[in-house]
Amino acid sequence: MKYIFFAILFFFAIPSFSQEVTVVSHYPESAFVENRMLPFTVQGESVQSVISVITQGNDSCSTMVDPYYNTIFHLYCREEGVVDLAVTIASDDLFDSFISINNLRIRMEAEPGQENDEEDPFNEDRERPF
């Protein structure tokens, strides 16, 4: 009887935790394009950090936990397509939490801007335009 009681507690505890955890995208969905780093924040009172993020459905996609903010992770896809994410989150609670985000659509756009970090145009012997 005691074990049944704990089992019930266990199964009630999991959904109560998962209801408190949300994943919020920093960009609106219209900005979900290929070759763009897409940040997501995991919010929740008991959230400690993102442990891992696994992608499925689009082989061109990669993920990483932000090296400076451990509740933020990033998705980066080199090609358009639909991708699913499985996020494992460490929390103050007894168990880690697991959240799946399905059917994120990454769309195609033109080539990324020809930003040139190495060649600083403002180092030229001409007046800065700004």
Partner 1 sequence: MNIFYRLGLLSLCFFLFQNCGSFEKAEVDNFYSYNEPPDFYYDLKLLRVELDQNQRQRYTFDLAMSYAHDPDQSITYQVLFSTLDISGVCRGQDGTADDDTKHVRLECLIPVEDRLFLQLTLLGPRDEEVVRQYSF
Residues that bind partner 1 (CB under 8 A): 24-28, 30-31, 33, 35-37, 39, 41, 62, 64, 66-69, 72, 74, 76, 109-116, 121-122, 126-127, 129-130
Residue number with CB closer to partner 1 (39 or 48): 39
Answer whether 37's CB lies under 8 Å from 112's CB: no
Cα-to-chain-centroid distance, residue 18:
17
CB of 51 to partner 1, least distance (A): 17
Strand partners, 72: 41
Q: How far apart are CA 58 and CA 37, in angstroms?
A: 15
CB of 70 to partner 1, least distance (A): 11
CB of 32 to partner 1, least distance (A): 9
Residue number with CB closer to partner 1 (72 or 90): 72
Answer whether 45's CB lies under 8 Å from 20's CB: yes
| Nearest residue to 113 (alpha-carbon basis) of 29, 27, 28, 33 | 33
Residue number with CB closer to partner 1 (9 or 111): 111
Residue number with CB closer to partner 1 (57 or 112): 112
Return the residue matching tokens 């929740």. Answer: 44
